[in-house]
């Protein structure tokens, strides 16, 4: 059998490291994983140009450059896999290309990756090259520790209005409690990657959890977006910015 080359970007820890270890002994399929990613959290007014450019450079342009480097060879072979880790929610959930509070730039980078992969999947189908987005929810990795996240009491937010500061403080509390409750283990997420790799015809999107299916359906049932905005607001901050932040019902 022809030797297969596997490239995983961002494999120093977390999902990338676990996937590299699992595939080291048996890379039976020809594919390529774009897994590197960085996060950015905070009110948009406080995000510096440098921080925003870093997120877009790693999450979007890093993915593009990696695909550009190997796509011609895949086309010549007439086979290949491009598997992209699309942790849309970061700490929140796996609603495909969904906006999350105080993660505007991070979500923007992931919206762009979704569009990139969807467009590529159409063009690459005649070349027998499969593009798959693995939509991750919160996962127990070092992503949280490495997240760029200003302290709500720190000097970075001194000029911010009081209401936005309070909302941001509440969002951080929500993230901490929700992460403890809902985070998946790396091994559970790896199984979704392995299934995508092993499938003869993998789908464009694979979800690692169905926990947020109700929010996903809202995006389809309410095309103007108002229902999703209200549901996410209530989920994070509670009804009317008060009360509990219970999960929206289907």
Which positions are catalytic? 106
Q: Own/partner pairs for 176-180, CB < 8 Å, 24+ apart?
A: 178/91, 178/92, 178/138, 179/91, 179/138, 179/144
How far apart CA 64 and CA 58 sit, in angstroms, is 9
* Cα 231 to Cα 245: distance, rounded to the nearest angstrom: 10
DSSP string, 4-15: --EEEES-SSHH
Mark out the alpha helices in 24-161 (DSSP H runs): 49-56, 62-77, 104-124, 143-146
Task: List all residues 6 or more positions away from 31 whose beta carbon is below 8 Å from its beta carbon.
Answer: 6, 80, 81, 82, 83, 130, 197
- In this structure, what DSSP letter does residue 34 have? E
Q: What angle do CA 20, 133, 250 make, to 5 degrees?
A: 120
Alpha-helix residue ranges (DSSP H) falling in 148-185? 162-182
Q: Which two tokens stand for residue 148?
A: 């760029």
């Amino acid at each position: 059998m022809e030797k297969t080359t596997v490239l995983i970007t961002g494999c120093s820890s977390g999902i990338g490291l676990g996937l590299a270890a699992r595939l080291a002994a048996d890379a039976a399929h020809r594919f390529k994983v774009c897994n590197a990613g960085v996060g950015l959290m905070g009110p948009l007014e406080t995000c510096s140009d440098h921080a925003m450019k870093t997120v877009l450079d790693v999450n979007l342009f890093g993915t593009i450059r990696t695909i550009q480097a190997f796509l011609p060879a895949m086309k010549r072979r007439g086979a290949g896999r491009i598997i992209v880790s699309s942790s849309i929610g970061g700490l929140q959930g796996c609603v495909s290309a969904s906006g999350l509070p105080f993660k505007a730039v991070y979500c923007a980078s992931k919206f762009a990756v979704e569009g990139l992969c969807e467009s590529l999947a159409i063009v690459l189908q005649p070349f027998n090259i499969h593009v798959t987005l693995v939509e991750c929810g919160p996962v127990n990795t070092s992503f949280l520790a490495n997240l760029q996240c200003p302290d709500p009491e720190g000097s970075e937010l001194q000029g911010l209005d009081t209401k936005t500061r309070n909302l941001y403080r509440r969002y951080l509390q929500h993230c901490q409690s929700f992460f403890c409750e809902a985070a998946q283990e790396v091994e559970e997420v790896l199984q979704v990657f392995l299934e995508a790799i092993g499938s003869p015809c993998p789908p464009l999107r694979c979800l690692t959890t169905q926990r947020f299916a109700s929010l996903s359906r809202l995006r389809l049932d309410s095309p103007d977006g108002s229902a999703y905005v209200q549901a996410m607001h209530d989920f994070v901050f509670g009804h009317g910015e008060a009360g509990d932040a219970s999960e929206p019902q289907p």
